[in-house]
Structure 1
Amino acid sequence: MNYIELELSLSSVDIYSDILQSDLCDIGFESFLDKKDGFFAYCQKDIFNQEDLDFLLNAFRENNPSVNVSYDIKEIEQQDWNMEWEKSYEAVLVDDFCYIRASFHPPIKNVEFNIEISPKMSFGTAHHPTTYQIIQLLRDEPLEGKDVMDMGTGTGVLAILCKLKGAKSVDAWDNDEWAYENAKENVMKNNVEVDVKLGDASGLSKSYDLFIANINRNILLQDMATYSKHLRTGGTLLLSGFYDNDVEILEKCANENNLHLVTHISKENWAALRFIKKQ
């Protein structure tokens, strides 16, 4: 099956990228890959509609006149897609702690955890600084006997790592169906027990000792109260998916919800935070 690749560039990526990706899902685009000034979006050729795309982008421009939007489109053959992905995909080593690889990479020795994933364009390969830093924070997180939530799980790599580290139970949720299916596949590849679900914070009903959310700033601000409500006293909240200049507003929101910042790390201007829920 052939795909349409949309390469979209924005003058304001941080604020508007998620909005456009959500809108593109409504017209058949099913996977996304971020780049410095925007993202790539992919749609099956058989369901791609140029008129729908033009209507969507024209409406976006009318509602956001200060944002410059440009795009290119090309067709990708499925065989070439897979070959190019395998040639370009590099395994990721996070210190001597965790090695994230595809099936065509052999596992390595002298590392605590080898995790095999098939990304299929879902977020969470550890190439991005946000996922990489959450993995770094998890290294120092005691997980044996703990209940864990990975909200916005993407590939499921963080949830898989938590289970391998000894967590009693791990829930992995994503509101994107592509990511949901991908996470289920990767959980099976790594032979771990993780409960993968299609959903978001509005569906939470239980409490956790560790809550992970590697999502964009606006969603984190919107759902912070819900995260805190479903985090046990003394529990840990790990956040990423935002820039260093977003930390102040996120910390303020967290403080208002009884969460205390204890760790702030940064990589390439992307931040990751560890909070503890107060007594």
Structure 2
Amino acid sequence: MFNPRPRKTSIPIHFHFAHSKRSTPSPNDIACDSAAPVLPKKRPTSILIPHDTPDHQRLPTVTQPEWTPVEIANFPPHLRRADLLDLLRDFTISPSFNFPDTPRFTRPFRTTVLVAGLKEAMRMVKELDKNSVAGREISVKMAVEAEQQVHQRDPEEGIQDVAEELKNNIINTARIYYPDLSDAILVVRELVNNGGYYAFLQQRVPVTIHSDPNAHSLGAQNIGDWEFVAGAAADSGMAHDQRVPRLKVLKSLQEQVEMQGVLSKIWGKWGGR
């Protein structure tokens, strides 16, 4: 059986292109394009998002303490640096302080420590001043010169305190440089005579049951058999303040005791030969 192929029907399709035959734009098109504004390209903007550090990772802020100087004086000559640190173990101090290897006899065996804060320094002075360390009463005070302390308080009271401190220093100096006086009773006496100020270091042997009857009789009369050790003098004629010669003569006596003690040791090794 013959099946004829279907016929192909051609349907014309017309395409219309606007300006398809024109390769260049018209003047009107150019005018419209030039009138349009040319906008710059926007750059991408970076946004910083703060990164919050958790509280447990934040480092604590360290505040430097306000150091307050405190002077510690009159401690025993055999006291070591470790002993002093142990004495101050209940206080917050700076470990960097100069510990004297040898005494300075203007105020023997003294050092200055820095304490964390004024309240802590005042507590140290209150708790440690005049405490007994190895049989010696130490001095713990705010680091102010003795003369400045005198002007801040009643003048007579301040002068008396400085004089007593100088007397203690004289006796401590004598015990170091004069071993033969280690068991003796040492006293510093003052004398004012005809405008002159004098200070003497004197000593006597303690009265015991083995002492001679004469010593016991003097003791009953409250009289001591004193012996001269050293002395110093100062003239008050040129001084406007009569309290100044008293301190001057005590300082001079302290220097004399120290100097004569050093010379005595040198002579003892030499023997005068």
**Short-chain TM bin:** under 0.3
Scaled by the length of structure 1, the TM-score of the pair is 0.25
TM-score normalized by structure 2? 0.25
* Structure of higher CA gyration radius: 2
Structure with a larger share of its residues in strand: 1
